[in-house]
Chain A
Amino acid sequence: GDSVTQMEGPVTLSEEAFLTINCTYTATGYPSLFWYVQYPGEGLQLLLKATKADDKGSNKGFEATYRKETTSFHLEKGSVQVSDSAVYFCALSDQSGTASKLTFGTGTRLQVTL
């Protein structure tokens, strides 16, 4: 079945440092890929997405490129802020049926310090 593998956390960075959170996937067909963010005590918010190979999703300074050849969707940000501290989930959805449920990775906790 489909699966998503993320790098384990926590990831601790100083403010303005460069961030990479690795994500690889296994899926049949051509899934769409997502990054969701969960701030403490809150729900899941869509951060960015990509629906086909070589697409780049971007939002709030975060970027991720859909790499079919390496089955990866790594999240990057050039300069993190304390307010970026949260748990980040990589996810994929298959295209079958009328409802496209998401399969999540285990999440990576990011802590940004001053």
Chain B
Amino acid sequence: AAGVIQSPRHLIKEKRETATLKCYPIPRHDTVYWYQQGPGQDPQFLISFYEKMQSDKGSIPDRFSAQQFSDYHSELNMSSLELGDSALYFCASSRSGANVLTFGAGSRLTVL
């Protein structure tokens, strides 16, 4: 069965650079969520989209932005990267009204 696809799996950036993470949800899933998991931490909700509109917002820094496209894939854009942005970024998808989220394998961002 198709799963949630995230790319890239690993990314290394310098401070103050920008990074873009991509997420391809399971087919027919219309809702996408982004989470950030720091080392040894629990996943923290950043933002979600339903039908290409932002549906909820969590602890996403102003330096980050995200959007969902017409094919339902989503991109998380991170600018002015800081050392503290080093984390595992998970994308999850679901069908609207279904509260079971399926997670991707994550994108590990390292900021040097």
Contacts from A to B (Cβ < 8 Å): 32, 34, 36, 42-46, 49, 51, 89, 93, 95, 97-107
Contact = CB atoms under 8 A, between A and B. Distances in A.
A44 B36 CA distance: 12
B42 interface: yes
A44 B43 contact: yes
Q: What are the 3 A-B residue pairs with the smallest beta carbon separation, nearest first?
A: A100-B99, A99-B55, A43-B105
8 contacts: A32-B99, A98-B50, A98-B97, A99-B31, A99-B48, A100-B98, A100-B99, A107-B42
Interface of B: 31, 33, 41-45, 48-50, 55-56, 58, 90, 92, 94, 96-106
Contacts of A105: 42
Contacts of A45: 103
A101 B45 contact: yes
